[in-house]
Amino acid sequence: MEDYMNVNLSADERAKCLLSMMTTEEKIAQMAQISYNVVSAEEYERFQKLGIGSFLHVLGQDTAKIKEQAAQTRLKIPPIFGIDAIHGHSLLNGSTIFPSQLAMSCSFNTDLIREMGRVTAKEVAADGLDWIFSPVLCIARDLRWGRVDETFGEDSYLIGELGAAVIDGYQCDNLIIACAKHYLGYGEATGGRDAYDTEVTERKIREVFLPPFKRACDSNCGSVMTAYGSIDATPLTANNDILRKMLKEECGFEGFVVTDWENVRALMTNQKVAKSIKDASKMAVEAGNDMSMNTPKFYDCMCELVNEGRIDMKYIDDAVRRILKVKFKLGLFDKKEKISRDVIGCSEHRKINMEITRESLVLLENKNNILPLKNGDIKTIAVIGPNADDIQAQYGDWTYFSHPEPKENVVPENDYYTVLRGMKTIFVDCDILYNKGCDIMDSSNESIEEAAALAEKSDIVVTVVGDCLKQYGEFRDRADLELSGAQLDLLKRLKKTGKPLICVLINGKPLCIEWLKDNCDALIEVFNGGDLGGLAVAEMLAGRFNPSGKLSISFPRHSAQTPCYYNQYEGWHGGRYMDVEAGNVYDFGYGMSYSDFVYDNIRLSKNEIDKDESVIVSVDIKNNSDIDGKEIVQLYINDVVSSIMTPVKQLRGFKKVLIKAGETKTVTMNINPEDLSLINKNCERIVESGEIEIMVGSNNQDYLTARLTVR
Ligand code: BGC
């Protein structure tokens, strides 16, 4: 037996041992990843025979042939199969489809997000795959950007916490590896356009964009994906400072870096910093990319570069060692116990999905406590709106409907619930009347009067509006964030009926919803709710559970008011445009409950600390209602005077706690030196002496304060 098959050696030792036996071509093959989407059938066959290191977008049933061919190669190195399992193993019809990442982030529930990761890993592994291109750790700073739905929202701290939780969930059973993406700065591309340049300073990178990736490194994330764009006119793919130096050397990243889709080619064709794919391949590898996704010429170019003596073998050896180490860690070389396919979409997974879906919903308005709906008063309910019965809109992006290629007419194998079906299921004693009312985009395709006639016959109206998959996702940035088509006309007409108007939003990202805030009796944000979104909404309206989600992202009044994230710097003109009222429609951290939580008695374990000390903040919270509820307690800080400007508020802690009806709970949170630190002019992370304002509350506008002195 060769040493690399000795399971008593560490993954790294086995990788080094195998590396020492490999030819240059065998090494370079490990650095390539191929999808059937970009090559001819003959080329695909050739890559399989070459023993290419990784394939993507292959589903379980199609892996066998590739594995067999790898087993025919000299060293029989197994390929690693990557898949976009973005919210569940969602490219596979029949798998558990969770709410979108943005929706789940509103739960602020790290335990449930970890569970969601564990469930997804099981389903992916049961399908014979090993690698998930998730989580997205991009920061949704510009709402026009098409991929806001894929993020955990706008706050770097929250993203870091939820990212670490999901990575842990994905990787805890050692079935698959995670991939933190897209490294770096993707969410603040100029003009909110996908894959454009991001003009940020190194200081800002370290303050805002790097921390979630650092958390991913500390969580032993198996891989990181290089973003498409550029920073300061250097493409991320060719950015040695950001990849090799910052990620690998400084953050101590131990896994491997994969480029995004055809990044190597784009160095030549789009970003124009390389004359040829060969030059681009050299640049990408030297900068710190270990594997190239889908630039088919990469393999031949790299072989030529070595033959011509134009690339140092040390880069190749390091890349291949990293890839092999992951393969050994995952047990790809060893006999592994197979996970039964029965877990895919199983009832245990559905239960977890139900829990997280419930916690993801955000109650934004509840005028006169119209919710929960009172039993007995309601006989007829009109369910109206373009997203009331549209499962594609409810699923959102990255499911088998949209990827790897669009397939509009697939029938979901899952027992899914749209809002219409949810209402029929929960309100069994009521008549449910339905009319679509209008289209999401085509304003001529409407049936507003028919919808209004149903509303007239009903006791209440539940309207489901939002957006559709054509309006977000890659290539689909949006300049106008108003409700599209005739949706606002529909809502205005329904309002005229005088019936109580409950509005449910199913949308990929924040839209301008000021009219809805002012005019709807209740307003609920779902984002993309997955399999069970519609059921959870109906349960919530019926009071079967108490809503507990809070927004992980702010909602602007006007499209041109973006960026509108909460943690901005203070200016001196009130931060307003002359033609739009100041402030957001809803802020990060906002969300209502059926309970009433009252905060009192904020206190610190010490009022003065040294720079390397921690402090404990406590607060008493009373549930002043007769219903048990979960509250997301949020802790923000503000550095009162500092050597550089710091944001008006920064989230530095949160806790989700169950507080029983009438109960008072003391919640404590720890603030450590890292939480108090800032990145100074020299790009160093330091704690400065001075005063820190500490804010603890129910959202970022409503809090108690305490003062801490740092000596
Ligand atoms: C996306 C990535 C994704 C990859 C593979 C790219 O277009 O930017 O997020 O993982 O495709 O599907």
What pLDDT does 59 receive?
Answer: 87
Phi, psi (rounded to 5 degrees) for 620: -100, 135
Distance 261 CA to ligand 1 centre (A): 6
Distance 292 CA to ligand 1 centre (A): 12
What digits encode the pLDDT tens for the residues 111-126?
Answer: 999 999 999 999 999 9
CA 241 to chain CA centroid, Å, is: 26
Top mutation candidate among 86, 133, 263, 405 for ligand 1, by most atoms within 8 Å of CB: 133
Distance 228 CA to ligand 1 centre (A): 10
Q: What is the mean pLDDT of residues 187-200?
A: 91
What digits encode the pLDDT tens for the residues 134-187?
Answer: 999 999 999 999 999 999 999 999 999 999 999 999 999 999 999 999 999 998
Distance (Å, whole) CA 242 – CA 235? 10
Residue 612 pLDDT greater than 90, yes or no: yes
Count Cβ atoms within 10 A of the Cβ of residue 459 and give its class: 0-12 exposed, 13-18 middle, 19 or more buried.
middle
Distance 159 CA to ligand 1 centre (A): 19
Top mutation candidate among 91, 132, 194, 260 for ligand 1, by most atoms within 8 Å of CB: 260
Distance 140 CA to ligand 1 centre (A): 17
Distance 473 CA to ligand 1 centre (A): 11
Ligand 1 pocket residue status of 199, Cβ below 6 Å: no
Residue nearest to atom 10 of ligand 1 (CA): 133
Residue nearest to atom 8 of ligand 1 (CA): 260
Closest Cα to residue 698, out of 575, 595, 614? 595
Instruction: Retrieve residue 172's tokens.
Output: 């805890």
- CA-atom Rg of the chain in angstroms: 26
Residue nearest to atom 11 of ligand 1 (CA): 261
Residue 608 pLDDT greater than 80, yes or no: yes
What pLDDT does 337 receive?
Answer: 84
What digits encode the pLDDT tens for the residues 562-593?
Answer: 899 999 999 888 778 999 998 999 999 999 99
What digits encode the pLDDT tens for the residues 19-77?
Answer: 999 999 999 999 999 998 889 999 999 999 999 999 999 988 889 889 999 999 999 99
What pLDDT does 77 receive?
Answer: 97
Ligand 1 pocket residue status of 141, Cβ below 6 Å: no
133 CA closest ligand 1 atom index: 10
Distance (Å, whole) CA 38 – CA 45? 13
Q: What is the mean pLDDT of residues 544-561?
A: 97
What pLDDT does 336 receive?
Answer: 80
Distance (Å, whole) CA 510 – CA 516? 13
What pLDDT does 229 receive?
Answer: 96
Distance (Å, whole) CA 513 – CA 506? 12
Calculate what percentage of the chain has a pLDDT beyond 90: 94
Residue 85 pLDDT greater than 80, yes or no: yes
Which residues, 6 or more positions from 335, have their beta carbon under 8 angstroms from its beta carbon? none
Ligand 1 pocket residue status of 401, Cβ below 6 Å: no
Q: How many other C-beta atoms can be found within 10 angstroms of the C-beta atom of residue 457?
A: 12
Residue nearest to atom 6 of ligand 1 (CA): 261
Distance (Å, whole) CA 140 – CA 564? 10
Distance 83 CA to ligand 1 centre (A): 9
* Predicted TM-score of the model (pTM): 0.97
Ligand 1 pocket residue status of 315, Cβ below 6 Å: no
Sign of CA dihedral 307, 312, 317, 320: negative
Distance 77 CA to ligand 1 centre (A): 25
Could you give the angle at the alpha carbon of 329 between the alpha carbons of 132 and 316, nearest 5°? 85
181 CA closest ligand 1 atom index: 9
Ligand 1 pocket residue status of 365, Cβ below 6 Å: no
Instruction: Retrieve residue 96's tokens.
Output: 């558990």
What digits encode the pLDDT tens for the residues 342-351?
Answer: 999 999 999 9
Distance (Å, whole) CA 298 – CA 258? 13
Contact 48, 68 (CB under 8 A): no
Distance 183 CA to ligand 1 centre (A): 12
Ligand 1 pocket residue status of 161, Cβ below 6 Å: no
Alpha-carbon distances, residue 45 vs 22, 65, 551 (angstroms): 22, 10, 47
What pLDDT does 598 receive?
Answer: 98
Ligand 1 pocket residue status of 133, Cβ below 6 Å: yes
Distance 222 CA to ligand 1 centre (A): 17
Residue 375 pLDDT greater than 80, yes or no: no
Ligand 1 pocket residue status of 474, Cβ below 6 Å: yes
82 CA closest ligand 1 atom index: 5
Q: How many other C-beta atoms can be found within 10 angstroms of the C-beta atom of residue 447?
A: 17
What pLDDT does 159 receive?
Answer: 98
What pLDDT does 575 receive?
Answer: 79
Helix ranges (DSSP H) in 308-418 = 313-329, 347-360, 391-395
Residue nearest to atom 12 of ligand 1 (CA): 84
What digits encode the pLDDT tens for the residues 640-653?
Answer: 999 999 999 999 99
Closest Cα to residue 146, out of 116, 93, 102? 102
Phi, psi (rounded to 5 degrees) for 707: -110, 135
Instruction: Retrieve residue 494's tokens.
Output: 């329904």
Phi, psi (rounded to 5 degrees) for 56: -130, 160
What digits encode the pLDDT tens for the residues 198-244?
Answer: 999 999 999 999 999 999 999 999 999 999 999 999 999 999 999 99
Ligand 1 pocket residue status of 260, Cβ below 6 Å: yes
Contact 512, 481 (CB under 8 A): yes
Residue 1 pLDDT greater than 80, yes or no: no
Ligand 1 pocket residue status of 181, Cβ below 6 Å: yes
Distance (Å, whole) CA 441 – CA 386? 10
Alpha-carbon distances, residue 260 vs 84, 363, 676 (angstroms): 12, 36, 34
Distance 410 CA to ligand 1 centre (A): 22
Sign of CA dihedral 360, 363, 369, 372: negative
What pLDDT does 591 receive?
Answer: 98
Distance 301 CA to ligand 1 centre (A): 23
150 CA closest ligand 1 atom index: 9
Ligand 1 pocket residue status of 84, Cβ below 6 Å: yes
Distance 260 CA to ligand 1 centre (A): 6
The whole-chain average pLDDT of the chain stands at 96
Contact 152, 110 (CB under 8 A): no
Ligand 1 pocket residue status of 262, Cβ below 6 Å: no
224: left (phi over 0), alpha (psi -120 to 50) or beta: beta
Distance (Å, whole) CA 91 – CA 31? 25
What pLDDT does 405 receive?
Answer: 87
